[in-house]
Amino acid sequence: MASYIVRRLLYGVLTFFGITLAVFVLVHSVPGDPIDFYVGTHITHLSQAALDAIRHEHHLDEPLAAQYLYWLRGVLKLDFGTSIVDHQRVTTRILQKLPNTFELNLIAFLLAAVIGVPIGLWSATRSGRPVERASAVLFFLLYSLPSFWVALLLMEFFSVKLGVLPLFGMTSDEYLELSAAQKFLDHARHLVLPVITLTYAQLAIFARFSKSALTEVIRQDYITTARAKGAAPQAVLWRHAFRNALIPLITLLGLVIPFLISGSVIVEQIFEWDGIGRLYFTSILARDYPTVLGLTVATAIVTLLASLLADVLYAVADPRIRFGETAT
């Protein structure tokens, strides 16, 4: 197993360089002066000497390969430069907003798992029956709903028509004057709609994934063996099938995180939730490229780490990966 994990980690290092190289190439293939990325496009009032100084400071006067290495050194030190909007360090800005995104996504992730996995397992045991076919179509439709539209309809119904939940924001205006219990309740009320929006699409992913995992397990020889030796159908499911079907869910860790971050951009923008998704989009609008690029690289690296973790956990949980032939 050690050799498998070592190889996986080495690939991870390679992928890390691939990620940084991809972003670097992307930025440098944009027509125009790269100095725009560092000081913004409003540089006409600067003298030539000042521009040269900025170029020198950001190593823009050096060959491309050297520029990449300087940038890579920054990324390795988690230093993505400073924002051109407020001149704060990009890393500081990201860390400030991260807890808000984390809160929203963790709740949605857990809800989706707790509701989606049992539904998926259940529908695998009812494979081919009308109920299961109907629920499969239902999940498909759910998956096809654009999240920003769902968000708009939820706002329209719960906030405008019924007036029971706040339209957007993380807290009410009078939040600071509330007691601790009221604060909790107020924040919870603001959480409801964004959490629903983030949960429903993941629900479909969890359900489909766990359904196909269990369907795969039920086809295996050891399930046939268990049935053949006369184990009760329920016991076969609980003792043999379910536990093995849960293992592939580990890989969802690496798959769901980029999906969550993408979803956060839209949901946080609509509900004015002050997280990294909203930071990303406002930085795009402000042409704050250091923040945009920093967040792009940072989220890609988080995804990479999550999928490495998932692969290692998978190898620990499933001996066939550890001792089987090399995975590609």
Partner 1 sequence: MTAATWSRFRRSRLAIGALVYIGIVALIAVCAPLLTSDPNSVDLASRLRPPDRTHRLGTDDLGRDVLSRVIYGARISLSVGFTATAISLIIGSLLGAIAGYYDGLADWGVSRLIEVVLCFPFLLLVLAIVALFRPSFLTVMIALGLTSWTTEARFMRGEFLRIREMEFAQAARASGARDSRIIFRHLLPNAIAPVLVSASFGVASAILIESALSFLGMSIPPPTATWGNILSSAEQHIEYAWWLAVFPGIAIFLTVAAFNIVGDRFRDALDPRSE
By the rule CB under 8 A, 144 interacts with partner 1: yes
By the rule CB under 8 A, 206 interacts with partner 1: no
Say which residue the tokens 């999550």 belong to.
Answer: 306
By the rule CB under 8 A, 30 interacts with partner 1: yes
Contact pick of 207, 217, 245, 292 for partner 1 (by CB under 8 A): 292
Instruction: Kindly list the distances between the CA atom of residue 154 and the CA atoms of 160, 216, 289, in Å, as whole numbers in the listed order.
Output: 9, 37, 33
- Residue among 82 and 291 whose Cβ is closer to partner 1: 291
Tell me the DSSP string of 251-278.
GHHHHHHHHHHHHHHHHHHHTT--SHHH
Say which residue the tokens 């006409």 belong to.
Answer: 44
- Residue among 61 and 216 whose Cβ is closer to partner 1: 216
Contact pick of 158, 262, 309, 318 for partner 1 (by CB under 8 A): 262
Q: What is the DSSP code (8-state) at residue 173?
A: T
Q: How far is the CB of 52 from partner 1 (least distance, A)?
A: 24
The Cα–Cα gap between 259 and 254 comes to: 9
By the rule CB under 8 A, 85 interacts with partner 1: no
The Cα–Cα gap between 273 and 56 comes to: 38
Tell me the DSSP string of 205-230.
HHHHHHHHHHHHHHTSHHHHHHHHTT
Check if the beta carbon of residue 87 is closer than 8 Å to that of residue 286.
no
- Residue among 113 and 257 whose Cβ is closer to partner 1: 257
Contact pick of 53, 92, 146, 220 for partner 1 (by CB under 8 A): 146
Query: 3-state DSSP call for residue 50?
Result: helix
**How many chain residues touch partner 1 (CB under 8 A)?**
51
Which one of the spans 62-70, 104-112, 234-242, 256-264 is the region binding partner 1 (CB under 8 A)?
A: 256-264
Contact pick of 265, 279, 312, 315 for partner 1 (by CB under 8 A): 265
- 31 exposure class (CB count in 10 Å sphere: 0-12, 13-18, 19+): exposed
Q: Residues 211-250: x/- map of binding to partner 1 (CB under 8 A)? A: ----------------------------------------
By the rule CB under 8 A, 304 interacts with partner 1: yes
By the rule CB under 8 A, 137 interacts with partner 1: yes
By the rule CB under 8 A, 299 interacts with partner 1: yes
Contact pick of 269, 275, 312, 315 for partner 1 (by CB under 8 A): 269
Task: Give the chain's count of helices (H) and strands (E).
Answer: 15, 0
The Cα–Cα gap between 210 and 222 comes to: 19
Binding site for partner 1 (CB under 8 A): 11, 14-15, 18-19, 22, 26-27, 30, 137, 140-141, 143-149, 152-153, 155-156, 160, 167, 257-259, 261-263, 265-266, 269-270, 280-281, 284, 287, 289, 292-293, 295-296, 299-301, 303-304, 307, 328
